[in-house]
Structures are given as structure tokens and as C-alpha cells.
Amino acid sequence: MSSPASQTQIMAHSYIRLDFGTDEEKAQQARHKLDGWRQAFRLDKKLQYKLDRPDSAPVETFSKPEPATKAAVPEKSKGKAAEKAKGKEASAKSTAPPAQKAAAANGKVSLLVRLYFSSHEKLSEQRWLERIPSEEPFKSATPKIIHHGDAEFEATDKQFEALA
């Protein structure tokens, strides 16, 4: 006996590419707005996005002090030295995020949004395809809608899957 054919169809999806240039603040506002919509309208799997920073280089992290310097500290002052070392590590950690933000601000930032609606939700998909590019943080990003049948769809799909 053969199994009957599945009644579920493959869900075609669309992408919206938003290029923010070097404006990291607008990209974060757009990301925040998308998060709000995902929660408010329960679009967890249907509306996904990933930030793309092609020009950003990885930022070096600060190394921890070597264990040899800790062994040279006498036993009586070890408690104070440990507190000072913790303070230095904490200050090094607090300076790392601004360095990362500065590196990200120097490069280009783009946002890939994937709309993944089933075939019976075509009206919802169309409304989101119209709404997202018309809202404020997305207007200035030169939105480009890429449908399933477009020539650059495959490359965009691979790029979206490759982003972390």
C-alpha cells in the first residue's frame, strides 16, 4: 500500500532586503520594531530577520592576566591583589562593548527579513510586504522585496541561511 500524497504544500517565502548604510542606530530601531511586531502579532516563525555586516572585522578581545603574575603575589596581600585584578578585568570588559559598537558603526549594515506564510495566508503576507517598507525606520533603508520567483532569490536564501 502506498501512502496518500501530503496535503500540505511547500510554503513559499519572500525576503525584504533593507540597506541601512552605516546607520547602526536606524538598524537597531528597525530590529526593535520587528521584535515588537513578532511578539504582538505572534509571528515567531513567520517573520524572521538577520543583521548582515559584510565589512565588519572581528574585534580582538582583551586577554586575561597570566597565572605567573598571580603566583608572585605574597599570601597576605593576595586578597587585595585579587580585588584589584577583578576590578581591572571588570573595567576591561566594560570597555569591550563600545569598541565593538564603534567597529560595527564603521561598516555597512543591512537587514534581511524573511516572511514565511503558508499558501492560505496570502493576504497576511501581502499586508506585511506593504507595511514593513512603509514604516519609518524602514523607509530610509531603500527596501527591496525579493519574491520566490525572482532571479536573486536563491542567492538571498543562501545568504540568509549562512548568517548567524
For residues 115 and 13, the answer to whether their CB atoms sit within 8 Å is: yes
Task: Break the chain into its structural domains and give their ranges.
Answer: 14-56+109-162, 67-102
How far is the C-alpha of 27 from the C-alpha of 49, rounded, in Å? 11
**pLDDT-derived band of residue 68, with 50, 70 and 90 as boundaries?**
very low
State residue 164's pLDDT score: 76
State residue 38's pLDDT score: 96
Confidence (pTM): 0.65
Set of cell numbers at residue 120: 492560505
Set of cell numbers at residue 62: 582583551
- Among 124, 140, 141, smallest CA distance to 14 is for 124
Residue 22 has pLDDT above 60, yes or no: yes
49: which DSSP letter?
Answer: E
How far is the C-alpha of 55 from the C-alpha of 34, rounded, in Å? 24
Q: What is the radius of gyration, based on Cα positions, of the chain?
A: 24
Q: Which value, to the nearest 10 degrees, does the dihedral of the CA atoms of residues 90, 91, 97, 99 take? A: -150
Q: pLDDT by residue (tens digit) across 43-58? A: 999 999 999 987 654 4
- Average pLDDT, integer, range 82-107: 47
CATH code 3.30.70.600 for 14-56+109-162: yes
State residue 54's pLDDT score: 79
